[in-house]
Amino acid sequence: MTDQPTPERVTAERAEPERDLPDVLGEYVPRSAVALTDAQRWPTQTVAGERALRAVREHPHAPEWVHECGDRLDAGDLAALADLAADYASRGDRGPRARAGFEPAAPPAQPDQPEWVGALVRRVHASVPRYRRIARLHGLDPAALGPLADVAPIGRAELAGGAAGGLADLVPVDVELDRLIEGSSSGSTGSALVIALHPRSVAGDLMLLRHLLRGVGVEWRPEPGRLALASVVAQDAAFTYASTMSAFGHAPMARVNLDPGGWRRPGDREAFLAATDPQVITTSPWPLLELADLDADLHPLAVVSGAAALTPAARARVRDRWGVPVLDLYGLRETGPLAVSTDGGPHVLVPRRIHVEILDPAGTPVADGVRGEIVVTVDDNPYLPLLRYRTGDVAALVHTPAGPALAGLEGREPVRLRRGDGAWSDCINATQLLQAHGLLGWRLHQLAGGDLTLAALGGDPAAARLSLERLLDQPVTVTPVATSAGLGAGKPRRYTSDLPGGA
């Protein structure tokens, strides 16, 4: 690499047309959250990287960039990330498998805790306010701790309240805060959480993606003239930006919004995407389906979907459209990626420093193959080490040739549906039926009287209704919707209920 970092310069302000956004979306006013110079956004930027960035920012068909942000990686970060990439590369193409605690082909899936977990338990009890308080209260010596089973699980409630509340209680006192970046996790219910991110941990996702793609036979290397990655959303208002990825050869990426309101002229959206032809598309199911319907000539190497369940029908649609691997990535913003499904089957745990347990409502581990809440211990983000964090999501841990995996993954706050005879039915039963009828997405709501309403995207809604009525012995009203917008804004919940005990 002969390129030299560019000298610091302040980003030139470009005149932006005002968008007519509601007041509540004021944060999306172009560049309202911009605070840094380009040199601070990309401390190791190269001449070639800056050139690529400018080409994307100033592309004749570019959207109205609403934001600017970089990866904030310094030379130390790049060295650490190179080590991480080498570590992944040394695994070859064995597919996802956890770095520690899991031996290939070694049931049971719910393993003993890996060695690093004991060290994390001790470190957290010595440095994290919430756990130091527990140690003080019970006279525990952090150095003598270790078993995770002795640690009470926590959840979103413990993180809530922002910097003065739960977050400060979970950030170690011995970590310098000078690299701190505010993140948020909206989840699908409740108000957003403020979380603390470290640039190196965020960029670690990129190394993981490369590894996961290698596992499905895709060698992802930057290609001049193309976006290495496009992060795609489809919402009324969203942050959009162009960036370069310092830990990936300073290759360009962009976050784009498929909503037509974010583009300057009709046709720009399709023209920009076709011209920049992103190598890897990361998105969530609804934008992905919109993108698949878009008249744009794209040649992605792979597609990575997250944030919500990718139905088999949606997966098939994407495969038919581009004929490339489709990864369904599961995780939470506060934990990072946890598991991936490359074939529509169980989500295999990814090789990060994560330890997954499946617990019953009383907090007791369940047997392999039994559904329960996914509870995760993560040692990746120096600002937010997590011990037994309740995800609110439900699955069973099973053993697969690729390693331990989450089967029957259902989103947070699983809903029970009440049958006509008063018995409860786990929503996983409805999921299996609706998937079998080819629905791309749905929203199933049970009213207080027991009747159900189904908003159905794609597939055979009429047949789905009959199956649901047979399953639940309750009347179902079905409404076919033409687009994902008909399923609700944001990250829609697939199941809701007005019944006491249902949700």
| Nearer to other proteins among residue 180 and residue 294 (C-beta) | 180
Shortest distance (Å) from residue 408 CB to other proteins: 18
Residues making contact with other proteins (CB under 8 A): 33-36, 40-41, 67-72, 129, 132, 136, 138-139, 162-164, 167-168, 171, 173, 177-178, 180-183, 194, 196-197, 199, 202-203, 205-206, 209, 229, 231, 239, 241, 243, 245, 253, 255, 282-284, 304-307, 329-333, 335-338
Beta carbons within 10 angstroms of residue 437's beta carbon: 20
Shortest distance (Å) from residue 70 CB to other proteins: 6
| Nearer to other proteins among residue 109 and residue 340 (C-beta) | 340
Give CB contacts under 8 A, 24+ apart, made by 47-54. 47/3, 47/4, 47/6, 48/3, 48/250, 49/3, 49/244, 49/246, 49/250, 49/251, 49/252, 50/6, 50/244, 52/244, 52/250, 52/251, 52/252, 53/242, 53/243, 53/244, 53/252
| Nearer to other proteins among residue 64 and residue 426 (C-beta) | 64
Gap between the Cα atoms of 411 and 419, Å rounded: 21
| Nearer to other proteins among residue 181 and residue 271 (C-beta) | 181
* DSSP summary character for residue 81: H
Gap between the Cα atoms of 253 and 40, Å rounded: 17
Shortest distance (Å) from residue 307 CB to other proteins: 4
Shortest distance (Å) from residue 140 CB to other proteins: 9
Shortest distance (Å) from residue 435 CB to other proteins: 21
Q: Strands, E, within 367-428: which ranges?
A: 371-378, 386-400, 403-410, 416-418, 424-426
Gap between the Cα atoms of 65 and 263, Å rounded: 9
Gap between the Cα atoms of 325 and 488, Å rounded: 28
| Nearer to other proteins among residue 262 and residue 331 (C-beta) | 331
Gap between the Cα atoms of 331 and 501, Å rounded: 26
Shortest distance (Å) from residue 312 CB to other proteins: 19
| Nearer to other proteins among residue 117 and residue 304 (C-beta) | 304
| Nearer to other proteins among residue 194 and residue 452 (C-beta) | 194
| Nearer to other proteins among residue 98 and residue 476 (C-beta) | 98
Token duo for residue 175: 């970590």
Task: Report the first-to-last Cα separation within the chain, whole angstroms.
Answer: 55
Contact present, 478 and 456 (Cβ < 8 Å): yes
Gap between the Cα atoms of 38 and 34, Å rounded: 10
Contact present, 249 and 203 (Cβ < 8 Å): no
| Nearer to other proteins among residue 288 and residue 439 (C-beta) | 288
Shortest distance (Å) from residue 472 CB to other proteins: 31
Beta carbons within 10 angstroms of residue 489's beta carbon: 10
Shortest distance (Å) from residue 78 CB to other proteins: 14
Shortest distance (Å) from residue 142 CB to other proteins: 11
